[in-house]
């Protein structure tokens, strides 16, 4: 089994949408340094900016803490930040509870992806992800 590669994942999405600029590991600074946060990516299209943070669950761990924390954190930022939650449901089963998946799906700044980690491709959720990025970047 290969390891999930956030850079390749985001590069494929950015290429599909012809995103002008993709920055990696962007520090988001708040008024207090203890609140600063490092985003996985910052997408820029014309004058619009969209932060993207990807969490993935291919092993054990708790999404019930991660998902609400990130969605709450991103509400405090001055430009939109999209949380992409990725899991391989076929190989590993559901890692997040239905409640957490619903929280991501129903939040306009959240997106759920079922990802085939062996084939390195999206099984479910790609069209919604592309539509949300297009909407938030005003493409």
Q: Classify residue 1: in a domain, yes or no.
A: no
Q: How many domains does the chain have?
A: 1
Q: Classify residue 116: in a domain, yes or no.
A: yes
Q: What is the pLDDT of residues 2-14, one digit of tens each?
A: 578 899 999 999 9
**Which band of pLDDT confidence, cut at 50, 70 and 90, is reported for residue 90?**
low
Q: What is the 3-state secondary structure (H, E, C) of the chain?
A: CCCCCHHHHHHHHHHHHCCCEEEEEEEECCCCHHHCEEEEEEEEECCEEEEEEEEEECCCCCHHHHHHHHHHHHHCCCCCEEEEEEECHHHHCCCCCHHHHHHHHHCCCEEEEEEECCCCEEEECHHHHHHHHHHHHCC
Q: Classify residue 72: in a domain, yes or no.
A: yes
Q: Classify residue 117: in a domain, yes or no.
A: yes
Which residues span the domain enclosing 30? 6-137
Instruction: Provide the CATH number for the domain around residue 20.
Output: 3.40.1350.10
pTM for this predicted structure? 0.87
Q: Classify residue 127: in a domain, yes or no.
A: yes
Q: What is the pLDDT of residues 9-29, one digit of tens each?
A: 999 999 999 999 999 999 887
């Amino acid at each position: 089994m290969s390891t999930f590669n956030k850079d390749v994942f985001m590069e494929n999405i950015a290429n599909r949408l012809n995103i002008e600029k993709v920055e990696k590991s962007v520090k988001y600074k708040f008024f207090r340094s203890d609140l600063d946060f490092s985003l996985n990516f910052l997408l820029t299209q014309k004058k619009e900016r969209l932060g993207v943070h990807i969490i993935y669950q291919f092993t054990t761990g708790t999404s019930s803490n991660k998902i609400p924390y990130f969605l709450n954190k991103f509400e405090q930022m001055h430009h939109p930040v999209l949380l992409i939650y990725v899991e391989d449901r076929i190989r590993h089963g559901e890692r997040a509870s239905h409640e957490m998946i619903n929280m991501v799906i129903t939040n306009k700044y959240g997106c759920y992806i079922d990802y085939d980690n062996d084939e390195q491709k999206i099984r479910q959720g790609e069209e919604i992800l592309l539509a949300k990025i297009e909407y938030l970047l005003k493409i």
